[in-house]
Amino acid sequence: MNRKTYHFFCLLFVFCFHTLIQAQEHPKLILTKQGVEAIRAKLGTVPLFDASLSKIKDEVDAEIATGIHMPIPKDYSGGYTHERHKKNFLILQKSGVLFQILDDEKYAVYVRDVLMSYAEMYPTLPVHPKERSYARGKLFWQCLNDSNWLVYTSQAYDCIYDWLSKKERKKLEKDLFKPFADFISKGNPQFFNRVHNHSTWGNVALGMIALVMDDDQLLNRALYGLKVDNLSEDMKDNDGGFIKTKDQKIGFFGNLDEPFSPDGYYTEGPYYQRYAMYPFLIFGQALHNAKPELKIFEYNDGVLLKSVETLLNLTDADGEFFPINDGQKGMSYYSRELVTAVDIAYHFGGENAQLLSIAEKQDRVVLNDAGLSIAIGIKEGRSEPFLKKTVNLLDGSDGTEGGIGILRKDDMELIFKYAAQGLSHGHYDKLSFSVFEKGDEVLQDYGLARFVNIEQKGGGNYLKENTTWAKQTIAHNTLVQNETSHFQGKYEIGSKNHSVLHFFDTSDENLQLISAKEKNAYPGTEMHRTFALIMDNDYEKPYILDILKISSETNNQYDLPFYFLGQVMEVNFDYEVPKTLGQLGAANGYQHLWLEGKGQPKSKNTKLSWLNNQKFYSITMAANLQDELLFARIGANDPSFNLRRDPALIVRRKDISNTVFVSVIESHGSYSPVSEFAVNASSSVAALQVVLDTVDFTAVEIESEKGNTKLLIVSNVNASKEQKHELEIENNKYNWTGPYYFGQLKK
C-alpha cells in the first residue's frame, strides 16, 4: 500500500465516522459561526478588511438596485447571457457573505430571490444551444462554467441556509442544486471523471454543495469521482487532450494527486494553476472547516498551500504569470483567485510575513477569517517584501517529469521549460526559454492565441491560430528540426514524454546554471541545452549564456528562433530584404511567419542589437559561416488579425547532424527620449566561440570588450557533483569537480 492509497483509506474511514455523529450548523464552508463573530467584533478596526468590505458592499448594493436578471442562456463567453449569469453567481456569493457579516436581511432576501428564480428556470432548460463544447452546460456553453456557478452559489446558499425555511431549502435542493449537481457529474462523465482543471471545478462544485446540504453520497462523488462512466480511452476534449487514461485516479483527490508536483507546480502551467487555485483552495478551506478530520492542508506534505508560493514565484516583477503553455499575458497575482489563494495560504500556512506584502499590493482581502487574518497582519506592520527566488520547480506527480527552471539575478529573469506536456494546454516547446527584465519581456514566449471572454474574437474561445501557431515549436525560442514540431505536434506522443534535468547549480548567485536534455521530441536526435546567468564585472548587468548541443543520427535542418521584442538597432551581418513578403514555410506554424530578410554571417560572430522599453539588448552568436540568418515576422495566414506582428531572428543550420548553437544575451545601457541620451548602447561581448565539443564536454569562450576571456566547460554525460574532471584545451589543463567548469581562460 503506497502513501497515497493509505491516506485514501484513512480519510475514507475518518470521514464516514464523522458524518455519522456530526450535525453542523451553517455557515460552515468559507465562513463559520465563530469566524463571523470574530469578524463582527473587529469591524471598523482593520483598515484593509473594512475597505474591502465597503467596496464589496457598494458593488452589491448597486447590483441589487438593478433588480434580478435571468436571461435564457444562449451566448458564448463575452456575450450577454454568459456575462450576466457569471455576474449573478459572483454577486450571489458576495451578497451571502454580506448577510453574514452585516446581518442585514436585504442581502439574504436577494440571494433567496435569485436562487428561487434559478430554481424556476433550471428545470425548463435544455442543454445550452451553443454546440462547440465536448461538455455543454445548461446555464453556460460549457459544464465548466456551470461548475463555476455552483462553486459560488453553494457559498451563497450556505450563508442563508439557516435563515431559509425548510420548505424553501427543499425546493432549492430538489429543483436546482441536486439536478444541477447530477447534470455536471452523471450527465457529463467525460467532464467530471478526468484529471484537468475542468473537472477540478466540477468536483469542487459537487463537494461544496454536498457540504452545505450534508449529502454524503454527493460528497463521495466529489472526492472520488463517478464509479461508472463508460468512457472510452481514446476520447478527447476540444483542445485535443485525452479525457481519461488507463487506471487514472479521479475526483477531487485524483485532481490533487496528479497534476501537482511535490514542488507545488501544476502541470498545465501558471495561468491554469491560477484558475484551478480557486476551487482547490476554497474547497480546501471548506473541508478544513466542515471536515477538519481530513487535515486537507496537510495532505501530500501540504502541497495545496505550498502551491501558492510556487505560483507567486512563477510571476515576473509586475506580478504577471510567465505565459507558459496556454497562458493569456497580463494575468497576474492581482486576480481574484490569487487574492483568495494568498489570504488562505497566509492564514492556514503559518502566517508567512512575505505574503503580507503581496496582499498589500492586491489592496483587498476576502471577507472571511483568512482575509481578516491577513488584514490584521498588515495592520500590525508585520509585512516583509516577497523575495522571488531562483527556483527549479519539478513537474510530475512525483517530481520526475522534468520541470521549470527560473534563474533570477538583479532585474533579469530567465525561464527555462523542460517540463512534461502540461495536459491539453501544453505547447510543443521542449527546452524553450524566455527572458524578462523588470517585468518586461526581452525574448518572449508568444503565449496563447485567444482573447478570453472577448466575444468579437471567436466567442472569446481558443482561436484556430492557437493550434496552428501558438502551440507549435517554431512559435518558441527553441530548436525546430526539419520544420516539424516536437513530437510531430501530436498530443498522444507529447503527453507520454518529458525532458530530463541534467544539472541545476545556483550555489553561487553570480553564476547560476541549469542544464537539461530532450531525447524524444525528435527520435534519433538529442537536444541538450544549458543556460548560465552570469554576473561579471566586465558587463553592466548579468548576461545569459545559452549552449544548445544537438546530436543526431541523421543530417537535418535546424532552426533556432529568438523572439526579440523591440526595434532592430544594428546587425553585424549582411542581409537582403525581399520586395514581396512570402511565408517562411507551409505548415507547423511556419505558415504564419513572413520572411522579412535573409542573410549570412560575415564573421565568426553574429550580432543583433535592439531597443525596447528604453533599454538596449544584444544577442551574440557563435556563427557557422554557412548559417542562414532569417528575419521573420508573425502574421502570415492570419485572415482575422488574430496574431501580433512581432519579430524574430531565426538561425538556420542545414544538412548537419551534430552541432552546437551558442549565444550570449545581454541587456545593456538605456535611452531616454526625454534627455535624448543614449548610454552604453553597444554589446560588451567582443568574441564568443566553441573551443571544444565532444560527446563528453562542450567548452565555450566568451571574450569581453575589456579583453578578459572566460571559459565555460559543460560535462555533457556525467553530471555528478562529486565527479572529478581533467581536460586539456589549447595546451592548458583544466581540473575541476562537478558538472561544469567556469573561470578565466588560461593562456
As annotated, the active-site residues are 272, 425
From 182-190, 534-542, 564-572, 697-705, give the range in contact with a copy of itself by CB under 8 A.
564-572
| Cβ nearer to Mg ion, comparing 198 with 417 | 417
Answer for the pair 521, 619: CB distance below 8 angstroms, yes or no: no
| The binder of a copy of itself chosen from 214, 540, 570, 628 (CB under 8 A) | 570
Return the amino acid letter for 83: E
Give the strands of the sheet with 709-715, arranged side by side: 685-693, 697-704, 709-715, 740-744
| Cβ nearer to Ca ion, comparing 318 with 508 | 318
CB 621 to Mg ion: min, Å: 22
For 599, the grid coordinates are 542573410
Answer for the pair 112, 95: CB distance below 8 angstroms, yes or no: no
Handedness of CA 48, 52, 57, 59 (dihedral sign): positive
The answer to the question of residue 334 lying near a copy of itself (CB under 8 A) is yes
Name residues contacting a copy of itself, limited to 235-294 (CB under 8 A): none
CB 16 to a copy of itself: min, Å: 40
CB 617 to a copy of itself: min, Å: 12
Cell 445550452, residue located: 128
Q: What angle do CA 341, 344, 350 make, to 5 degrees?
A: 125
CB 567 to a copy of itself: min, Å: 7
The answer to the question of residue 104 lying near Ca ion (CB under 5 A) is no
Which DSSP symbol is given to 6?
Answer: H
The answer to the question of residue 666 lying near a copy of itself (CB under 8 A) is no
The answer to the question of residue 228 lying near a copy of itself (CB under 8 A) is no
Cell 446540504, residue located: 213
CB 335 to a copy of itself: min, Å: 5
CB 21 to a copy of itself: min, Å: 43
Answer for the pair 547, 533: CB distance below 8 angstroms, yes or no: no
The answer to the question of residue 457 lying near a copy of itself (CB under 8 A) is yes
The answer to the question of residue 641 lying near a copy of itself (CB under 8 A) is yes
| The binder of Ca ion chosen from 318, 363, 384, 705 (CB under 5 A) | 318
Q: Can you give the C-alpha Rg of the chain in angstroms?
A: 28
453 binds, among Mg ion, Ca ion, a copy of itself, none (CB under 5 to 8 A by kind): a copy of itself
The answer to the question of residue 567 lying near a copy of itself (CB under 8 A) is yes
3-class state of residue 187 by DSSP: coil
| Cβ nearer to a copy of itself, comparing 464 with 746 | 464
Cell 469566524, residue located: 35
From 58-66, 396-404, 565-573, 719-727, give the range in contact with a copy of itself by CB under 8 A.
565-573
The answer to the question of residue 397 lying near Ca ion (CB under 5 A) is yes
| Cβ nearer to a copy of itself, comparing 94 with 244 | 94
CB 577 to a copy of itself: min, Å: 5
Answer for the pair 380, 393: CB distance below 8 angstroms, yes or no: no
How many positions of this chain bind a copy of itself (CB under 8 A)?
54
| The binder of a copy of itself chosen from 51, 500, 681, 690 (CB under 8 A) | 681
CB 429 to Mg ion: min, Å: 5
> What is the 3 state secondary structure string of 610-667?
EEECCEEEEEEEECCCCCEEEEEEECCCCCCCCCCCCEEEEEEEEEECCEEEEEEEEE
The answer to the question of residue 398 lying near Ca ion (CB under 5 A) is no
Residues that bind Mg ion (CB under 5 A): 323, 427, 445, 447
- CA–CA gap between residue 535 and residue 697 (Å, rounded): 23
The answer to the question of residue 635 lying near a copy of itself (CB under 8 A) is yes
323 binds, among Ca ion, a copy of itself, Mg ion, none (CB under 5 to 8 A by kind): Mg ion
Burial 609-641 (b: 16+ CB within 10 A, else e): bbbbeebbbbbbbbbbeebbbbbbbbbbbbeee
- CA–CA gap between residue 701 and residue 713 (Å, rounded): 9
427 binds, among Mg ion, Ca ion, a copy of itself, none (CB under 5 to 8 A by kind): Mg ion
438 binds, among a copy of itself, Ca ion, Mg ion, none (CB under 5 to 8 A by kind): none
CB 446 to Mg ion: min, Å: 6
744 binds, among Ca ion, Mg ion, a copy of itself, none (CB under 5 to 8 A by kind): none
The answer to the question of residue 680 lying near a copy of itself (CB under 8 A) is no
- CA–CA gap between residue 427 and residue 443 (Å, rounded): 17
Using alpha carbons, list the distances in angstroms from residue 99 to 67, 102, 118, 163, 447. 17, 5, 20, 10, 41
Answer for the pair 496, 167: CB distance below 8 angstroms, yes or no: no
Is the link from the previous residue into 262 a cis peptide, with omega within 30 of 0?
Answer: no
Which residues of this protein are in contact with Ca ion, per CB under 5 A? 316, 318, 320, 397, 439
Which residues of this protein are in contact with a copy of itself, per CB under 8 A? 78, 83, 328-332, 334-336, 451-457, 460, 567-570, 576-577, 579-583, 594, 596-597, 609, 611, 631, 633, 635, 637-641, 644-645, 647, 671, 673-678, 681-682
